[in-house]
Amino acid sequence: MFTSVDDVRARLAESGYLASPAVATTVFLADRLGKPLLVEGPAGVGKTELAKAVAQVAGARLVRLQCYEGVDESRALYEWNHAKQLLRISAGRDETWDETRTDIFSEEFLLPRPLLAAIRGDEPTVLLIDETDKADVEVEGLLLEVLSDFQVTVPELGTITASRRPFVVLTSNASRELSEALRRRCLFLHIDFPEEELERRIVRLKVPGIEAALAESVVRVIGALRAMDLRKAPSVAETIDWARTLLALGATALDENVVRDSLGVILKHQDDILKAGAKLDLDAV
Amino acid sequence: MSAEAADRLVGLVAALRAHGLRVGTGETVDAAEAAAALGFADRDLLREGLAATLLHSPDQRRVFDTVFDLYFPHGVGAPAGEPGDRDDLRDRLAAALADDDAAMLARLAIEAVDGLGGYGSSPGADGWSSYQTLERLRPQTLLARVREDLRARGGDAGFADRLLEDEIRRRIESFRSLVAGEARRRVAERRGRDEIARRAVAPTADRVDFLYAGKDRLAELRRTVQPLARKLATRMAARRRRAARGTIDLRRTLRGSLSTGGVPMRPVLRRRRPARPELVLLCDVSGSVSGFSDFTMLLVQALHDQFSKVRVFAFVNRIDEVTGLLEHGAADPEGLGARIRAEATLTGYHGSSDYGVALGEFVERYGAAVGPRTTVFLLGDARTNMSDPNLAALRRIAGQARHVHWLNPEPRSLWGTGDSAAPEYAGAVAMHECRNAHQLGLLVSRLLPV
Q: Are residues A149 and A48 in the same domain?
A: yes
From A61, A88, A112, the end of a domain falls on A112
Task: Provide the pLDDT confidence category of residue A52 given band limits of 50, 70 and 90.
Answer: very high
Of the candidate ranges A26-30, A44-48, A271-275, B429-433, the one whose mean pLDDT is the lowest: A271-275
Q: Is A102 helix (H, G, I), strand (E, B) or coil?
A: helix
Mean pLDDT for all residues in chain A: 88
Work out the percent of chain A whose per-residue pLDDT is above 90. 39
Whether the pLDDT of residue A129 is over 90: the answer is: yes
Q: Which residues of A touch B327 (CB under 8 A)?
A: none
Q: Are residues A221 and A134 in the same domain?
A: no
What is the C-alpha to C-alpha distance for residues A216 and A223, in angstroms, rounded to an integer? 11
Mutate to test the interface with B, among A26, A31, A184, A188 (most CBs of B within 10 A): A188
Whether the pLDDT of residue A149 is over 90: the answer is: no
Q: Are residues A30 and A124 in the same domain?
A: yes
pLDDT of A170: 94
Mean pLDDT for all residues in chain B: 83
Whether the pLDDT of residue B156 is over 60: the answer is: no
Q: Are residues A61 and A123 in the same domain?
A: yes
Q: Is A68 on the interface with B (CB under 8 A)?
A: no
Model's pTM, two decimal places?
0.77
Whether the pLDDT of residue B351 is over 80: the answer is: no
pLDDT of B215: 72
Task: Provide the pLDDT confidence category of residue B330 given band limits of 50, 70 and 90.
Answer: low
Do residues B280 and B400 lie in contact, with contact meaning Cβ atoms separated by under 8 Å?
no
Q: Are residues A280 and A203 in the same domain?
A: yes
From A64, A96, A112, the end of a domain falls on A112
The arithmetic mean of pLDDT across residues A85-109, rounded, is: 83
Of the candidate ranges A25-34, A244-253, B189-198, B327-336, the one whose mean pLDDT is the lowest: B327-336
Nearest to B40 by CA among B67, B6, B66: B6
Q: Are residues A272 and A159 in the same domain?
A: no
Q: Are residues A21 and A139 in the same domain?
A: yes
Q: Are residues A13 and A143 in the same domain?
A: yes
Whether the pLDDT of residue B450 is over 70: the answer is: no
Is B38 in contact with A221 (Cβ distance < 8 A)?
no
> What is chain A's percent helix, strand, coil content, to nearest 5?
55, 15, 30
DSSP assignment string, B95-148: HHHHHT-HHHHHHHHHHHHHHHSEE--STTT-EE-HHHHHHHH-GGGGHHHHHH
Whether the pLDDT of residue B150 is over 90: the answer is: no
Do residues A111 and A148 lie in contact, with contact meaning Cβ atoms separated by under 8 Å?
no
B71-106 tens-digit pLDDT: 998 888 777 777 668 888 888 888 888 888 888 888
The arithmetic mean of pLDDT across residues B199-225, rounded, is: 75
Is A180 in contact with B52 (Cβ distance < 8 A)?
no
Q: Is A40 helix (H, G, I), strand (E, B) or coil?
A: strand
Is B37 in contact with A190 (Cβ distance < 8 A)?
no
pLDDT of B123: 66
What is the C-alpha to C-alpha distance for residues B11 and A285, in angstroms, rounded to an integer? 58
Task: Provide the pLDDT confidence category of residue A177 given band limits of 50, 70 and 90.
Answer: confident
Minimum distance, in Å, between the CA of residue B231 and any CA atom of chain A: 5
Q: Are residues A108 and A235 in the same domain?
A: no
Do residues B96 and B142 lie in contact, with contact meaning Cβ atoms separated by under 8 Å?
no
| Residues 6 or more apart in contact with residue A236 via CB below 8 angstroms | A44, A45, A46, A193, A194, A199, A202
Whether the pLDDT of residue A199 is over 90: the answer is: yes
What is the C-alpha to C-alpha distance for residues B248 and B239, in angstroms, rounded to an integer? 18
Number of domains into which chain A is organized: 3
pLDDT of A202: 93
Q: Within 10 Å of residue A197's Cβ, how many Cβ atoms?
A: 12
Mutate to test the interface with A, among B50, B54, B57 (most CBs of A within 10 A): B57
What is the C-alpha to C-alpha distance for residues B57 and B231, in angstroms, rounded to an integer? 14
Q: Are residues A213 and A280 in the same domain?
A: yes
Q: Which residues of A touch B329 (CB under 8 A)?
A: 269, 271
What is the C-alpha to C-alpha distance for residues B387 and B395, in angstroms, rounded to an integer? 17
CA-based nearest residue in chain A for residue B225: A231
Residue range(s) defining the domain that contains residue A224: 196-284
Minimum distance, in Å, between the CA of residue B144 and any CA atom of chain A: 19
Q: Are residues A68 and A83 in the same domain?
A: no
pLDDT of A284: 46
Whether the pLDDT of residue A103 is over 90: the answer is: no
Whether the pLDDT of residue B369 is over 60: the answer is: yes
From A161, A190, A219, the end of a domain falls on A190
Q: Which residues of A touch B231 (CB under 8 A)?
A: 174-177
The arithmetic mean of pLDDT across residues B35-44, rounded, is: 90
The arithmetic mean of pLDDT across residues B275-279, rounded, is: 75
User: What CATH topology corresponds to B225-244+274-447?
Assistant: Rossmann fold (3.40.50)
